[in-house]
């Protein structure tokens, strides 16, 4: 099978599992950031206000790369997509996952905020561990 042929169904399943693990990690990070925001800035009065903060406030901007990766996986896995999922496209998503899920104490951006979230919140650590486990099994199959 070349890089432009459709991905085999078991690879689609593995990518679906990775997407679900990343979605759960994203949820844990959003929940953790909400707590941190409310401790530092104040209570968020409504779900609508929180959605506005998630999409527009610089406090939450660091989460956007993970949000975009999950959306890209959703689009790639969509059975109604104009372009079928290929091995090349699936591998690119797996590589993006590997590049993104690096926490570092130095620097800034996603990696630094991710490091901080892992340090302060055990739920983020558990979601990271679950995502890493799925990533390792998906990466082996690639």
- pLDDT of 87 reads 81
Per-residue pLDDT of 108-124, as tens digits, reads 899 999 999 999 999 99
Task: Provide the whole-model pTM.
Answer: 0.88
Q: What is the mean pLDDT of residues 38-49?
A: 96
User: Each residue of 93-118: b (16+ CB within 10 Å) or e?
Assistant: bbeebeeebebeeeeeebbebbbbbb
Burial of 10 (0-12, 13-18, 19+ CB in 10 A): exposed
Pull the structure tokens for residue 79: 């059975």
- Is residue 93 within 8 Å of residue 142, measured between CB atoms? no
Q: What is the pLDDT of residue 38?
A: 97
- Give the whole-angstrom CA distance, residue 58 versus residue 80: 34
Tell me the C-alpha to C-alpha distance, in Å, between residue 68 and each of 23, 56, 76, 94: 11, 14, 12, 14
> Torsion angle, CA of 76/81/86/90, rounded to 10 degrees?
0
Mean pLDDT value of segment 80-108: 87
Q: Where are the domains of the chain?
A: 9-141
Q: Among 7-16, 58-67, 68-77, which is the least confidently predicted range?
A: 7-16
C-alpha–C-alpha distance, residues 16 and 25, integer Å:
14
């Amino acid at each position: 099978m070349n890089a432009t042929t459709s991905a085999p169904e078991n690879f689609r399943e593995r990518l679906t599992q990775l997407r679900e693990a990343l979605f759960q990690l994203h949820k844990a990070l959003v929940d953790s950031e909400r707590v941190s925001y409310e401790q530092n800035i104040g209570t968020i009065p409504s779900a609508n206000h929180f959605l506005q903060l998630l999409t527009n406030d610089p406090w939450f901007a660091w989460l956007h790369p993970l949000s975009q990766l999950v959306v890209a996986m959703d689009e790639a896995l969509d059975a109604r997509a104009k372009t079928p999922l290929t091995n090349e496209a699936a591998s690119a998503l797996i590589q993006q996952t590997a590049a993104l899920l690096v926490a570092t104490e130095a620097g800034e951006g996603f990696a630094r905020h991710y490091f901080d979230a892992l340090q302060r919140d055990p739920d983020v650590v558990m979601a990271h561990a679950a995502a890493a486990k799925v990533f390792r099994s998906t990466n082996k199959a690639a």
